[in-house]
Chains A and B, each alone.
Chain A
Amino acid sequence: MKIGVLIKQVPGSEASLRILPDHSWIDESTLEFEMNESDSYALEEALQIVEREGDGEVVAISMGPEPRTTKVLREALAKGAHRAIHIVESPPYEIDPLLVGHIIKNAIAEEHFDLLFSGLQSNDLSQGQTGLVVGELLGMNTATLVMATEMQDDHIRVKRELEGRWFQWVTIPLPAVLTIQSGINQPRYPSLKGIMGAKKKEIRIVPKETVLPEVEKTQSFGSIYIPQKEKKTVMIEGDATTVVQKLVDVFKHEIKIL
């Protein structure tokens, strides 16, 4: 069983983001990047499948600049991925999911993965397309919003999340692409032994220029900006005691629940 996991590096969920003066992107110079949340669940699911099957290989794949991409790939290796592929990209980043999908396809086609996982969507652009694009380009079967997996010989049976707390089991033949929903498992922390061992594992470097596709860009964006506020929010300010007293007043006199 050979499983590829597509991993993106994104700003931490608590990071304070600033827009560049020309509004072309955010200022990345002071930002800490981390593994995209649903991708960490995808990695964990891949590791668990290989452990359950008692045989196989997990390959972490990420596209992005140094040093953050190496950091995220080393984390994946420390958690147990066997090796990694780094598609090296410098700004400006490609944001068209079709072009990104073609680039990744070109970089990994020769791997012939049985399974290719990604998180449901990234916490930066949230387009939720890359994994499926790569799968479609490679002629793989697909399933999204996966909340459980079961291997069945040359098939995989997955529990898919539908809307409104409905679920459905679907069985698809391998090779297959799955997008993994957050909450499917409990991602592990890397062990000290894992962190030490990760330094010896292979990261294959693929410069983006060497895997560029012949297709044209199909979508692009202009400037980025802070959304205009639709609602007037009354901000309650002061020290903790003052804030608490004002909140009690709001509950009592404005919302009238006390």
Chain B
Amino acid sequence: MDILVFLENQQGTLHRISREAVVAAQEFAREPGLSVAAFWLGTLPPGVAEELNALGVAEWIQVSSPVLNDYSADGYTAAFCELIRQEQPRYIFMGHSYRVRDFVPRVSTRLNRPFISDVIHFAWKEQGPVFTKQIFNAKMVTDMQAQGDGPVLVSFQAAAFSEEKLAAGSPAAREMTLDLPADIVRSRAEEPFQEETGGVDLTAADLIVSIGRGIGKKENIPLAQALADKMGAELGSSRPLVDAGWMPPQRQVGSSGQSVAPKLYFALGISGAIQHVIGMKGSKNVVAINKDPEAPIFEIADYGVVGDILELIPLLTEALPG
């Protein structure tokens, strides 16, 4: 098989980012006519087999080993290396999830083959495929290329490919048992848990005024709160303000916070790093104010203002009808 797609188990379901990786593989395979298979590590939760049986791939492989029943970086690294040794794929595609970040660099090291991470786009060129990646906080992009012979590991950014384009099919199913010694897992994991959300539900908000680093200091946050109050909006924030302890974690929008889709997302002093954009790109309207004309938030804003939020927020609060 030319391409193997990693199907990730997210709390007992097929991770959405894996469906997007299958879409990437289907599109990548089309022009050169490559074959695509997919694989699942460990036991299958109820309902997942039915979904895998309808994926538009040639076959899917259920990879079993006692060390794969629960996730560990040690177990997954060993399983990836062994699977790649046995199947000899040219490419291994996956979503750029937190789990993939946790162990795939180790697979890459063990195989001495590249891990081209967080890719947003690919193109077939004369010299082979190039994989486009954002650099400098998404202000720029570059085309990555693998060197040398052997398998290439590629992870795709969340939402870079749309799961709505997923082609259906009726793949063959295969079971594979890996003989991995139990003592390779040196970590001991406890039960996952969620932290208290404090009763704030940004996902239900129609209007969100959201602030980022541009707010400057904690003492300026009441300015934004006053604007939000006047608009009848909830106050959200990007991660740096939560990290700094200025805003509570339950108000954080982004890949490590909440995903929101309000009628208006008013981004104030938010640069628009991808981790943030993932959490708000579903908004119906995005209005952004930022003093940096190159801020990536303007890539996705419907309306943009290049300016100083500390000057504009009080004026706007004043001008809005009460």
B305 to chain A, nearest CB (A): 5
Contact between B193 and A167 (Cβ–Cβ < 8 Å)? yes
Residues of B contacting A245 with CB < 8 Å? Answer: 319
Count A-B pairs with CB separation below 8 Å.
241
Within the complex, which residue of B98, B142, B197 is in contact with A224, where a contact is CB–CB below 8 Å? B142
Contact between B143 and A222 (Cβ–Cβ < 8 Å)? yes
Contact between A229 and B146 (Cβ–Cβ < 8 Å)? no
Q: A193 contacts the other chain (Cβ, under 8 Å)?
A: no
The interface bits of chain A over 73-88 (1 if a CB of B lies within 8 angstroms of the residue's CB, else 0) are 0000000000000000
Contact between B263 and A165 (Cβ–Cβ < 8 Å)? no
Residues of B contacting A258 with CB < 8 Å? Answer: 320-321
CA distance A17 to B140 in the complex (A): 9
Per the 8 Å Cβ criterion, residues 217-257 of B in contact with A are 231, 239-240, 242-245, 249, 255-257
Contact between B294 and A16 (Cβ–Cβ < 8 Å)? yes
CA distance A125 to B141 in the complex (A): 10
Q: B20 contacts the other chain (Cβ, under 8 Å)?
A: no
Contact between A123 and B147 (Cβ–Cβ < 8 Å)? no
Q: B264 contacts the other chain (Cβ, under 8 Å)?
A: yes
B: contact size bracket: 35 or more
Please indicate which of the listed interface residues B74, B187, B294 has the most CB atoms of chain A within 10 Å of its own CB. B187
Residues of B within 8 A of A (CB): 10-11, 73-74, 77, 97-99, 101-103, 105-106, 108-110, 112-118, 130, 133-148, 186-195, 197, 206-207, 213, 231, 239-240, 242-245, 249, 255-258, 263-264, 271, 284-285, 287, 292, 294, 298-307, 311-312, 315-316, 319-321
Q: Which 3 A-B pairs have the closest CB atoms?
A: A183-B243, A132-B105, A219-B114
Residues of A within 8 A of B (CB): 11, 13-14, 16-17, 19, 26, 37, 41, 96-98, 101, 120, 123-129, 132-133, 135-137, 141-145, 160-163, 165-173, 182-183, 186, 215-227, 229-231, 233-237, 240-241, 243-245, 247-248, 250-251, 254-255, 257-258
